[in-house]
Amino acid sequence: MRAGKAGRCWRGRQEAQPSRGCSSWFPEAQTRTEEQAQAPCACAFPAHAANMAPVEHVVADAGAFLRDAALQDIGKNIYTIREVVTEIRDKATRRRLAVLPYELRFKEPLPEYVRLVTEFSKKTGDYPSLSATDIQVLALTYQLEAEFVGVSHLKQEPQKPKSPQETEKGHPACEPENLEFSSFMFWRNPLPSIDHELQELLIDRSEDVPSEEEEEEENGFEDRKDNSDDDGGGWITPNNIKQIQQELEQCDVPKDVRVGCVTTDFAMQNVLLQMGLHVLAVNGMLIREARSYILRCHGCFKTTSDMSRVFCAHCGNKTLKKVSVTVSDDGALHMHFSRNPKVLNPRGLRYSLPTPKGGKYAVNPHLTEDQRFPQLRLSRKARQKTNVFAPDYIAGVSPFVENDVSSRSATLQVRDSTLGAGRRRLNPNASRKKFVKKR
């Protein structure tokens, strides 16, 4: 009888003992009950995993690995490309990649899908912000969507933002009721105020405030606690409640989603949503809203929705800048400008333009849309190939290939168009990116 009790006690200890991989390193886990021990570990499943159906096929970008997203709870099959893992340099992230709790599948997209995504991103205006790796990740998402779902519901052209309707002559537009939230640029509706709700919460909390004697007794215990929550992380405050409300409105729980992409890049999210693909956040929520952009000339203040333009169609200057826009319910177009003064970079305005060069191999800066440029083709001698079996071959000529090293095109290192362009003289007025090494 004692042996049976001892056996039951030993089994009880085994059931109450926490798993070593989740919480055995924390002293709080040693006091869990048997019901808590049978429940799944909190570190393996997020709080919303019970209400969220996992996606069948998920394509992960580098941001998902850097943010340590629980991809095993978001999707069943995790895909990526080898370039994503190669570009990760963080030591902690590379250690996590070595011991992933799920199988990471590498798959390369087909060239036709890469070409399709590239052309679509040029139409949305996000192509300059995308790298070669980003385009391959987008192409892989499109390929999986085509294989498992189909392409009939996907968009072939991005949706262009509509311009605001002009009012009739003699009928001025109505003024906003509240001028406190208006500006000379655009009108936006005020966000809901939370002063009244916060006041009610403060009144309710004031009833449960302990006395001074109780506070003095608890001071010794509270001083030992870690002050890691002093920065307000994880708490809803009047400073961040508006941002949290906007994030909750833009996200939703994924339902009946077979293929999705987890990325933190706004340009990639915009292209995916414009094409009709599903975008997942690092917490597994489905992102619904996308950003729309237009080009605005800061010289004549005209706008255009053609993101492939380089020069302004009204004034002809190279002064187009990308501006994010939103369309309200009444069809009004609202432009959102950056407060950063470095958006209009004055680089290149200090030195005068170089003297225009003439000739067959001249390289001049691109100043106007209808400017003519030389073709920069190879010389006739460089295009010739030595073929001893040709009918025009003259006996006695050397059968070895002769390379052109003395012509003008050879000295300028001009290459054939099929082989790519050769070396070009750099423009000193062109903007250059600065790569700062982070410590």
Question: Alpha-carbon torsion 107, 112, 117, 122, what sign?
Answer: positive
Q: Which amino acid is at 84?
A: V
300 annotated among ligand-binding-site residues:
yes
> Residue 74 burial (CB < 10 Å; 0-12/13-18/19+)?
buried
261 annotated among ligand-binding-site residues:
no
Q: How far is CA 271 from CA 47, 121, 125, 129, 279, in A?
A: 29, 6, 9, 11, 10
How far apart, in whole angstroms, are the C-alpha atoms of residue 267 and residue 248?
20
Q: How far is CA 369 from CA 263, 287, 324, in A?
A: 36, 38, 25
Helix axis angle for 132-148 and 111-124, nearest 10°, is 110
How far apart, in whole angstroms, are the C-alpha atoms of residue 55 and residue 262?
11
9 annotated among ligand-binding-site residues:
no
Phi, psi (rounded to 5 degrees) for 94: -70, -30
> Do 72 and 49 touch, CB atoms closer than 8 A?
no
> Do 254 and 260 touch, CB atoms closer than 8 A?
yes
How far apart, in whole angstroms, are the C-alpha atoms of residue 63 and residue 362?
44
Task: Name the CA dihedral angle for 51, 54, 55, 58, rounded to a multiple of 10 degrees.
Answer: 120
Strand partners, 324: 293, 336
Annotated binding site: 297, 300, 312, 315
Binding residues for Zn(2+): 297, 300, 312, 315
